[in-house]
Amino acid sequence: MNTDPNTSSRRYAPWNRGAGAILGVAAVIALGLSGCTSTPSPSATTSSPAAPTSASPTTSSSPSSVESSAAPTESGATASSSATPSTTGTATTAAAALCTAADLAGSLDDSGGGAAGHIYMQLIVKNSSSTTCILDGYPGVSLVNASSDTPIGAPAVRDASAPSSGPISLAPGASASAALRYTQAGNYPSCTQVQADSVMVYPPGATDRIIIAHPLTACSNSAIQLLTIGAFQP
């Protein structure tokens, strides 16, 4: 049996070298594995860009937020202003218009009799239209020949003792009247008598007229006042 230590160490030297090589390879593999296991740290880095992604909708939505918040302030004020007239228009009924001759049918009632050369009549107008209209004040009255529509003599004088009592709301089919006094033409020696066949009536404030057939003797002298008219009464 050989007990020489040198021989023994030479015998095991190749094994030692092989073992060293194996350990070296194992170390390299271990380092490689540790490198693989350390790669999750970038995943934390890659997750961080998610923040800008969520931030970007906030940025893009802010213009509509500003626009919508600004719009109600201004348009809301405008709508409030513009709504005021609508509310008033809805709450307030439109005022009826003044009656015109086209709205009315006229007649004369002379059954009131007379005294001292006067004839007392009622000038009656009836709303023949389909809408309510307003009568307010004195009518204009003259004697005419219907064929010419030219007043004969002076028009009626307003009777201060029979003033208007206020606007009359004349519904369809309703009537109003005014006191008309006629003085006989024969009471005036200087009267140049002309036969009239109608009475012409202008409703208060109107520019068209009603012709009512009613024969009366007129004076062509414009200085002689034969007619006196009161304001319309309900």
Q: DSSP readout, 87-118?
A: HHHHHSPPPPPBP-GGGEEEEEE-TT-EETTE
- pLDDT band of residue 82 (cuts 50, 70, 90) is very low
Q: Which residues are within 8 A (CB) of 186 and not within 5 positions of it... i.e. 6 or more apart? A: 117, 193, 217
pLDDT of residue 12: 47
Question: Helix %, strand %, coil % for the chain, to 5?
Answer: 40, 30, 35
- Give the pLDDT mean for 63-75: 36
- Give the pLDDT mean for 90-114: 84
Q: Which residues are within 8 A (CB) of 194 and not within 5 positions of it... i.e. 6 or more apart? A: 152, 153, 217, 218, 219, 220
Q: Name the one residue in this structure whose structure tokens are 């002689």.
A: 224
In the predicted structure, residue 154 carries a pLDDT above the cut 70: yes
- pLDDT band of residue 112 (cuts 50, 70, 90) is confident
How far, in Å, CA of 212 to CA of 199, rounded?
5
Burial bucket for residue 232 (CB in 10 Å: 0-12, 13-18, 19+): buried
How many CA within 13 A on the CB side of residue 86?
Answer: 6
In the predicted structure, residue 229 carries a pLDDT above the cut 60: yes
Q: How far apart are the first and last CA of the chain?
A: 161
What letters, b where the CB count within 10 A reaches 16 and e where it falls short, cover 101-138? bebbebbbeeeeeeeeeeebbbbbbbbebeeebbbbbb
Q: Which residues are within 8 A (CB) of 157 and not within 5 positions of it... i.e. 6 or more apart? A: 225, 227, 228, 229
How far, in Å, CA of 162 to CA of 178, rounded?
9
- Give the pLDDT mean for 129-150: 95
